[in-house]
Amino acid sequence: MVLACKGRFCEGDRQLALRRARMEDEEEDNMMLKKILAVAACLAVLLGFGVRASAQQAASQQPAELKASNPAEELIQKQKAIPVVAYWKNAFTLSTPDEAYWLKIRGNVHLDSRFYGANSANPSNFDIRRARIDLQGQFYKYIQLRLQAEFADNPYIRNAYVDFAFRDWLHLRPGQMKPPFSTSWWTLDNNVNFIERGAGTPIYPFFDRGFWIWGDLFEKSVTYNLSVWTGAGMDLDYQRGDVDDHKDFIGRLFFSPFITLKDSFLQNTYVCVQGSYGMQSIPTTRFETKGYRAAVYDDLYWTWETQNPGYGEIGGRNRWGAEFHYIYGPFSVSTEYLVTEYKDIDVFDKKDGALVIPNAYGKVKSWSTWVSFFITGESKTLSNEGWRQPNPRNDFDPFHFKGLGAWEVLVRYTHTKTDEDLFQTTSFGGKDYRILAGADDVYEYTAGVNWTWNALVRWQFNYVHLDATGEGIQTGDKNYKEGIKKVKNEDQYAFRMIFRF
């Protein structure tokens, strides 16, 4: 009995001992788990600090590494190229540091508003007169490029030429551009003194393609211009280059006789003479099939009638002119006398080719004079390539109404005289033939105000009055409600906003 009891006691002690051992093992496991979690937490903290420190170190080293491996610098070194800087100074410019190479991206927008008197057939209108992009560049310090596109009305390439400046006294300029004739015509459109010029095509040779040699002599007191052109107009007019073998030759001498007399009232005195000679065979679409447009953009002083009802041939077209210009402080005066001469004009009947008008001769003459004064004291500048408008002494700020800008008042008188013989009518086969139709005399009176806000923005206001003789000035258009109407006098009120960059 005692042994059995002892056995049961021993069995219970054994189970109790096992339970205690199991509890001790669980406590050890818990302690181990806590230690593992604690170590893991410490490692996580240390790892976090390590990653953070590594990131900070990498961030601090990043600029130096990037600098050491700059792709742009590597490319420049690899190509042995010259770096280019971009900046803005009244035009977006890309240039090498030494300015041996540069490219300017320029452009302009001219928005016109025109209003007419009751006797005109022209409607009041708003017109995008000009919208252009202009690329101008320099290469090797002596080669300059200009490529300009017009987007208003019918888009076309306007300027496309390269100027090789071998010396100050020797430039070669091939391409399409304005031929060197008339300071008013040569003035850039952003710098025009009035909304429209006093004369027009064919007195002005418009744009043409050719070669031009020019240069400055005697401390820039004389600028010479010698050139040869197609005589047919732009590439837009004749895409194959010309209509015949004849060419126009144009020469111009621009004198600044007192330019070296500093602070003299005579310093800014300028005289110019010029002329052109050209043979041709047929009327060109640019010069002899349209009409004469000048101070009022929507009007035609006269129209060519050689194509209606007959057809015409022209033997020659010559031009010459003389100019005087003077600037003294805010005061400027300018006068131009320009003549275009037509020789050997023949008009034929379209049906049988009979010569109806033989060997006609006539001239178109323009005398234009204007005076300008800057109320705010600015002064224009002048060179062989035309007039330049000044920047204001104090720009006008339209947001804070500070500064005056530049205020200019100016007046102009222009007389356009066309020989009456060109308007004479000849009857043949029951039809009337003539060379021109319209006004043989037109007198223009213009008063204007220009307000320049800054180097980029200028506003113009012009009042224009025209008096005409003969059949009168052609107003309107066959596509207008009022059609075409010829009037003896015309009044126009015109506004223009010029934005350029």
Neighbouring CB atoms inside 10 A of 62's CB total 10
Those residues whose C-beta lies under 8 Å from the C-beta of residue 92, and which sit 6 or more positions away, are: 86, 104, 105, 106, 501
Q: Please tell me the predicted confidence (pLDDT) of residue 294.
A: 97
Question: 326, 295, 336: which is closest to 183 by C-alpha?
Answer: 336
Range list of β-strands (E), 49-118: 85-88, 92-95, 102-116
pLDDT at 20: 56
Q: Give the residue ranges of the chain where pLDDT is below 50.
A: 1-12, 14, 16-18, 21, 28-29, 32-68
| pLDDT number for residue 59 | 40
Residues 6+ apart with CB under 8 A from 266: 258
State pLDDT tens for residues 362-404: 999 999 999 999 999 999 999 999 999 999 999 999 999 999 9
pLDDT (0 to 100) of residue 23: 54
For 393, the token pair is 């002494």
pLDDT at residue 53 in the model: 36
Task: Specify the pLDDT at position 57.
Answer: 41
Distance (Å, whole) CA 437 – CA 302: 5
pLDDT value for 69? 62
pLDDT at residue 40, rounded to an integer: 41
Q: What is the pLDDT of residue 17?
A: 47
Asked if 75 and 83 count as a contact pair (C-beta separation under 8 A), the reply is: no
pLDDT at 27: 52
pTM as predicted? 0.83
Are 271 and 257 within 8 A, CB to CB?
A: yes
